[in-house]
């Protein structure tokens, strides 16, 4: 395979990745976007294998290609098994795990390039010094990759909620002088990186990688569970920039293009999500994100107030007698795996002539697009699913809003209480509807640790129980 053909195939794969991002920008084109992404990655992987084989043949030995094929088989098998087994509620953890692997791969490639640059074509012989430009790229790729790996490991632990180790708890972990330590470590990494760039000192490179692993932990541990959707998006961006940095070092146009696409799109998504949560984008980058939320009172200290509660039959009666219904899905719906039962209920209501729509907040669930994927799995028609900006104006004319496991994203305090930690955060304006039905297991607060005034309004009725059971009971009552 000629180098011209390899370059052309990499260009085709790059175009596929661009089309994938374009397709994933809307639910109706998301399947086509996924198809473009899979085709592009297949072309990129096969072309890279062919390139490795070509270089090995030129070197007079093809033994190394066997290790590449073993790695592909092992990684592909593990990915297939994980993709088949993962539950929808565990998708954020899977994404965090994948980010960590990308970061670690970038670190390993950078180390290999520093130790044996001639093997990767960076220099002609082992005695030639690595050019300063390549050393800068290796420093950036290794540092960002190390931060991505250790930060993603912490994010995985916080999202899973399985581990008792304090760093993996959903609550923020803070200590005196935390930001000052992060600043010192960041400056040290920068100084060591520049030292390696201009001198080629291997000790400086090793130390900067070690410090990058440490700071990756420190910038994620002060972030609370409420802010994990943005953290996932941010780490996605970091993994892309790490790949791009290594791509420059290896002179691999495919890595540069793919990494730049992931890095830039992840950064844009992080900015959009910060706006949706009324947070500072720079605080996210600096690891100070979520500080305000951590200052809120614990749920157990909230004042006990009376609420109006009802049964699933009561809720079904209200839904059956409405002309228009908006459903607000939250993480509680995902935990209960109730999306398929909800789809059946929606179909029953639609057959009665009731207009049913779904309202999706940008940070609903535990990662960007979590609720969209959840509803798509249940084959909810795309034309019934609306983003916050497109549907907020309709709440005031809606008969019934059904809130399923959502909390902070429908909290009126964001609009009415200027002293609230979520003040200014854009919300789904469910409180404007004529009637609100809220399904939760209990009156426990959401990730932000705040009481929700929506639950205490005269127009609101609470239905306490598992979302799937409540929806199935409502389905029977509607029938």
- Cα–Cα distances in angstroms (integers) from residue 428 to residues 24, 228, 387, 402, 453, in the given order: 23, 19, 9, 12, 14
DSSP state of 290: T
If asked whether residues 352 and 451 sit together in one domain, one would say yes
Q: Given a cut of 90, is residue 356 above it in pLDDT?
A: yes
State whether 122 and 252 are in the same domain. Answer: yes
Say what the pLDDT of residue 328 is: 96
Domain around 10:
1-85
Res 18: pLDDT? 92
pLDDT, position 299: 40
Q: How many domains does the chain have?
A: 3
Asked if residue 338 belongs to a domain, the reply is yes
Q: What are the pLDDT digits (tens) for 43-52?
A: 999 998 888 8
Are 131 and 200 contacting, i.e. CB atoms less than 8 angstroms apart? Answer: no
Nearest to 227 by CA among 180, 167, 276: 276
53 plus 143 within the same structural domain:
no
Q: What percent of the chain clears pLDDT 70, i.e. is strictly above it?
A: 89
Q: List, as one string, the DSSP characters of 166-220.
A: GGGSSS----TTHHHHHHHHHHHHHHHHHHHHHH--HHHHHHHHHHHHHHHHHTT
Q: Which of 294, 316, 347 is the last residue of a domain?
A: 294
pLDDT band per the 50, 70, 90 thresholds, residue 283: low
Structure-token match 């909290």, residue found: 411
Look up the CATH number of the domain holding residue 385. 3.40.50.1220
d(CA 369, CA 167): 26
Say yes or no: 269 and 314 in one domain.
no
Strand, helix or coil for residue 424: coil
Residue 260 lies in a domain: yes
* Claim to verify: residue 76 and residue 197 sit in the same structural domain: no
In this prediction, residue 297 carries a pLDDT of: 41
State the number of CA atoms in the 13 A half-sphere of 105 facing the CB.
19
Active site residue 408: yes
Is residue 48 domain-shared with residue 163, that is, in the same domain?
Answer: no
Kindly report the average pLDDT of the chain as a whole number.
Answer: 85
In the chain, what is the straight-line distance between the N-terminal and C-terminal CA atoms, in Å? Answer: 64
Residues 281 and 315 in one domain: no
- Asked whether residue 98 is domain-assigned, the answer is no
**Which of 85, 120, 155 represents a domain boundary (last residue)?**
85
Q: Are residues 75 and 138 in the same domain?
A: no
Please enumerate in sequence order all residues whose Cβ is within 8 A of that of 363, keeping only pairs 6 or more positions apart, or say none: 229, 230, 273, 276, 277, 409
pLDDT at site 291: 44
What pLDDT sits at residue 301? Answer: 45
The per-residue pLDDT for range 81-138, each reduced to its tens digit, is 888 887 766 777 888 888 899 999 999 999 999 998 887 778 877 778 899 999 999 9
Length of the chain: 479
Flag whether the pTM goes above 0.85.
Answer: no
Using pLDDT thresholds of 50, 70 and 90, give the confidence band for residue 281.
Answer: low
**C-alpha span between 474 and 479 (Å, rounded):** 9
Residues 194 and 307 in one domain: no
Domain assignment of residue 123, yes or no: yes
> Lowest-confidence range among 95-104, 154-163, 396-405?
154-163
Which of 314, 399, 408, 465 is flagged as catalytic? Answer: 408
Whether 478 has a pLDDT exceeding 90, the answer reads: no
Among the listed residues 286, 298, 291, 236, the one whose alpha carbon sits nearest the alpha carbon of residue 261: 236
Question: Which sign, positive or negative, has the C-alpha torsion 288, 289, 293, 298?
Answer: negative
- Residue after which a domain boundary falls, among 275, 294, 313: 294
CA distance 36 to 252: 21
The reply to whether 137 and 247 lie within a common domain is yes
């Amino acid at each position: 395979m000629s180098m011209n053909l390899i370059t052309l195939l990499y260009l085709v794969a790059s175009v596929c990745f661009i089309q994938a991002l374009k397709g994933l920008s809307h639910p109706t084109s998301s399947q086509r976007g996924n198809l473009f992404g899979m085709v592009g990655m297949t072309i990129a992987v096969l072309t890279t294998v062919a390139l490795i084989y070509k270089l090995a043949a030129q070197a007079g030995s093809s033994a190394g290609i066997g290790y590449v094929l073993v790695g592909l088989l092992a990684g592909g098998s593990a990915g297939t098994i994980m993709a088949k087994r993962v539950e929808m509620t565990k998708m954020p953890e899977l994404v965090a795990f994948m980010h960590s692997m990308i970061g670690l791969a970038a670190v390993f490639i950078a180390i290999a390039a520093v130790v044996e640059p001639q093997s990767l074509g960076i220099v002609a012989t082992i005695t030639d010094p690595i050019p300063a430009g390549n050393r800068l790229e290796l420093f950036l790729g290794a540092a960002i990759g190390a931060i991505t790996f250790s930060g993603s490991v912490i994010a995985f632990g916080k999202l899973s909620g399985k581990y008792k180790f304090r760093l993996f708890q959903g609550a923020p972990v803070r200590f005196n002088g935390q930001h000052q330590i992060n600043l010192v470590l960041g400056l040290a990494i920068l100084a060591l990186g520049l030292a390696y760039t201009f001198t080629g000192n291997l000790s400086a490179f090793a130390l900067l990688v070690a410090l990058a692993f440490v700071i990756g932990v420190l910038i994620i541990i002060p972030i609370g569970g409420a802010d994990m959707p943005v953290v996932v998006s941010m780490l996605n961006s970091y993994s892309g920039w790490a790949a791009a940095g290594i791509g420059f070092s290896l002179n691999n146009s495919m890595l540069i293009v793919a990494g730049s696409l992931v890095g830039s799109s992840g950064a844009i998504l992080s900015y959009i999500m910060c706006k949706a949560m009324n947070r500072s984008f720079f605080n996210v980058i600096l690891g100070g994100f979520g500080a305000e939320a951590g200052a809120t009172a614990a749920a157990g200290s909230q004042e006990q107030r009376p609420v109006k509660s009802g049964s699933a039959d009561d809720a079904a009666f209200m839904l059956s007698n409405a002309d228009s219904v908006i459903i607000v899905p939250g993480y509680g719906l995902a935990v209960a795996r109730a999306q398929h039962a909800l789809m059946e209920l929606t179909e029953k209501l639609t057959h009665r002539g009731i207009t049913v729509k779904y309202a999706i907040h940008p940070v609903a669930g535990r990662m960007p697009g979590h609720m969209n994927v959840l509803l798509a799995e249940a084959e909810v028609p795309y034309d019934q699913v609306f983003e916050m900006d497109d549907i907020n104006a309709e709440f005031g004319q809606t008969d019934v809003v059904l809130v399923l496991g959502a909390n902070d994203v429908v909290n009126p305090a964001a609009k009415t209480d200027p002293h609230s930690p979520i003040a200014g955060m854009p919300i789904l304006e469910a409180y404007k509807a004529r009637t609100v039905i809220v399904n939760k297991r209990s009156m426990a607060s959401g990730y932000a640790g705040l009481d929700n005034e929506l639950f205490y309004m005269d127009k609101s009725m609470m239905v306490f129980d598992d979302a799937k059971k409540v929806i199935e009971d409502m389905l029977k009552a509607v029938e």
